[in-house]
Amino acid sequence: MRPRGRRAGATAIPLALALTLAGCGSPVPFHRPGEGSADEPVAALGGAAPYFSPAPAAPPARNLEAPAPPPGGSAPVAPPGGPVYAATGAGMIAPVARDMPPRLYVANGRVIDVIDPGTARIVRRLGAGGEASRVVPSWDLRRLWAADTAHGTLVPVGPRSGRRGRPRGVAAPEGLYFTPDGRDALVLAGRERRIDVRDPRTMLPRASVPLPCAARHADFSPDGAFLVASCPAGRLVRVDVPGRRVAGTVRLPSGARPGDLRLSPDGTGFFVADPVRGGVWVVDARRSARPGFVPTAPGARGLAISRDARRLFVVGGGTVTAVEFGTRRIAGRWPLPHGGSPVPGGVSSDGAALWLADASGLVYALSTRTGKVLRKVWVGGRPSGLIVHPQPGRYSLGGSGLYR
């Protein structure tokens, strides 16, 4: 009888403890990544909470290793174009985003149209609050930010729940970027001629970096040590990111009007779109040198990179021109069905389609191999921004679809 009593007491202790803990709920609700509203904290099961001083990700380097393959998949192969985009090859979706359904997010005035690219149908319309001009994925891919340049706000949106968070007031957000280590958000305040350094989740200000011109587009060096921003006035500005200061400028030839830009796969240069000159400038990333130029078509506006990192798609002037990174030769030139200069939204995860949004209200996909129109979706209004989410990559650098 005595041993039986000891077993009963041993059972009662954990039962009492469980009942006691059941009445002590956490004052802060935690959710799996992407669940809950866009304003609520997130904690990945088995990992650190991303908004409570996580360890920074290692910056990209030339000996970059590709991430582990998804369960049941084959080992990913680094793109032959170079190590910068080694983690953005076909199908290389980050673990945190693998269960997110592929969607297109179209900034369309007061709403964000959400499109299923598989069925080419609008599955949801989200209120943007003001006049959304673009949609930018957060560094950790768990949130989207709708930028309203006219009213000076950034609105967080949950890609799974579709819930809007509280708008954050910012000054003239011409562009939203994230440092490769995820520590800072960088807002290009064009009219104010500065870069505002902010907390990547709350968007509370931390510092400001004055600029000599009004920057609108940017990209980072391979190691994230500096950022190159383009100004329509014909200049590129090099910004020391850790030092938070301007480290130099590059003036392009007279008449140049630089816009969107992309770092080359080998990390040696920046390709800069120029709608006035009708092509892309190639600027050396390591030293001062005379920039090269690749003519594509008048009105060259937007840029996107193929999944194998071998080609740069230049959109504008009624065409899409595919430029080979290695040789700088034209690999293809395809007329757009409605002409003009649509906004590029990125390449599909499998690399087969380039998605574009036209100001006439049409969203469509082109084959990255032939330039043939694959799908069309009529959204109406006047789309000004488009993003494919999720896309391959370990993290987002923001902008118009920068991933590493």
> In this predicted model, what pLDDT tens digit does every residue of 167-183 receive, in sequence order?
999 988 889 999 999 99
Is residue 45 in a domain?
no
Is residue 60 in a domain?
no
Is residue 67 in a domain?
no
238: domain CATH number is: 2.130.10.10
Is residue 155 in a domain?
yes
Q: Check whether 113 has a pLDDT greater than 50.
A: yes
Q: Check whether 273 has a pLDDT greater than 60.
A: yes
Is residue 133 in a domain?
yes
pLDDT band at 82 (very low <50, low <70, confident <90, very high): low
> In this predicted model, what pLDDT tens digit does every residue of 352-404 receive, in sequence order?
999 999 999 999 999 999 999 999 999 999 999 999 999 999 999 999 899 99
pTM for the predicted model, two decimal places:
0.80
Is residue 10 in a domain?
no
Determine the pLDDT at residue 290: 86
As a whole number, the mean pLDDT across the chain is 83
Would you state the torsion angle of the CA atoms of residues 13, 16, 17, 21, taken in this order, to the nearest 10 degrees?
170
Q: Comparing 149 with 154, which gets the higher pLDDT?
A: 154
Determine the pLDDT at residue 48: 35
Number of structural domains the chain divides into: 1
Mean per-residue pLDDT, 277-289: 90
> In this predicted model, what pLDDT tens digit does every residue of 217-234 receive, in sequence order?
999 999 999 999 999 999
Q: Which domain holds residue 183?
A: 95-403
* C-alpha separations of 97 from 29, 77, 195, 356, 389 in Å: 21, 20, 29, 22, 9
Is residue 101 in a domain?
yes
Determine the pLDDT at residue 30: 41
